[in-house]
Copies of this chain bind each other. A is one copy, B any other.
Amino acid sequence: MTVEARIRQEIEARIYSGEWKPGHRIPFEHELVAAYGCSRATVSKALSSLSNAGLIERRRKAGSFVAHPQVHSAVLEVPDLAQVIAARGGDYRWSLMNRRVETVVADFPSPALRIDGLHLESGAPFALEQRLISLGAVPGAADESFAAEAPGTWLLQHVPWTSARHRIRATEADRAEARMLDLRPRTACLELLRTTWRNGAPVTRVRQLFPGDRFDLIAEFKPDA
């Protein structure tokens, strides 16, 4: 246990226990230096870590204070479908339904590859996927058939770093979607819309449709970081 970790944990414990309530001023850095017999840099690292985690707020001249709780964000596990299905003990497969180049796509500065397909669990439809891949941002995609490998898997391995935005909502499968997913029409489905950028330019946009009874998303909030 490092000194930094000890300082952090002992402050955490006082916050979790309620001994130090939101708004409470925690000891000044120089007081912690004296209490732990360590250097100020070590205290500062511990407090920075707590601040990053959102547990405390630091204000010049005033000191550091227990933050007011805000459970307004959580880490969402965005599923890798192959792993999800393997974890359930199922057999994952990808089935390509459509592949073509679209020359004009809204919000895309260049032509895009349009890929439609189905993720299957042990032979049964699991999720419907409709995807666009910018050929400007990912020229190599033009050479891929995506017949055997799902485009998401391929992209993870061929596009360096991206940012992404997900929109999650409930919707009803229309007639065509229900047929492909082997559902009654109007069955409740989870719709995941994800757009991915790299250096501000769109890389891919995908819509995944999951039957509501076959899949759910998990998001965790932990004040540690």
A residues contacting B by CB (< 8 A) are 15-18, 21-22, 41, 52, 55, 68-80, 156-157, 159-172, 186-191, 196, 198-199, 210-213, 215-223, 225
> How many chain copies?
2
User: A58 to nearest B CB, angstroms?
Assistant: 16
- The residue of chain B having its C-beta at the shortest distance from the C-beta of A215 within the complex is B169
- Name A169's contact: one of B17, B72, B159, B212 (CB within 8 Å): B212
- The residue of chain B having its C-beta at the shortest distance from the C-beta of A19 within the complex is B160
- Name A163's contact: one of B78, B198, B211, B222 (CB within 8 Å): B222
- Name A16's contact: one of B169, B199, B217, B218 (CB within 8 Å): B199
- Name A77's contact: one of B72, B163, B199 (CB within 8 Å): B72
Q: Are A164 and B74 in contact (CB under 8 A)?
A: yes
- Distance between Cα atoms of A162 and B60 in the complex (Å): 27
Main secondary structure of the interface of A (DSSP, over half): mixed
Q: Are B15 and A160 in contact (CB under 8 A)?
A: yes
Q: Are B163 and A221 in contact (CB under 8 A)?
A: yes
- Distance between Cα atoms of A72 and B70 in the complex (Å): 23
Hey, which chain B residues are within 8 Å of A187, CB to CB?
172
Hey, which chain B residues are within 8 Å of A171, CB to CB?
170, 188, 212-213
Hey, which chain B residues are within 8 Å of A165, CB to CB?
218-221
- Distance between Cα atoms of A219 and B167 in the complex (Å): 6
Hey, which chain B residues are within 8 Å of A156, CB to CB?
68-71
Q: Are A166 and B69 in contact (CB under 8 A)?
A: no
A169-B212, A212-B169 as given contacts; A69 in contact with B159, CB under 8 Å: yes
Hey, which chain B residues are within 8 Å of A52, CB to CB?
52, 225
- Name A167's contact: one of B15, B21, B216 (CB within 8 Å): B216
Q: Are B76 and A73 in contact (CB under 8 A)?
A: yes
- Distance between Cα atoms of A156 and B221 in the complex (Å): 14
Tell me which of A68, A71, A78 has the highest count of chain B C-beta atoms within 10 A of its own C-beta. A71
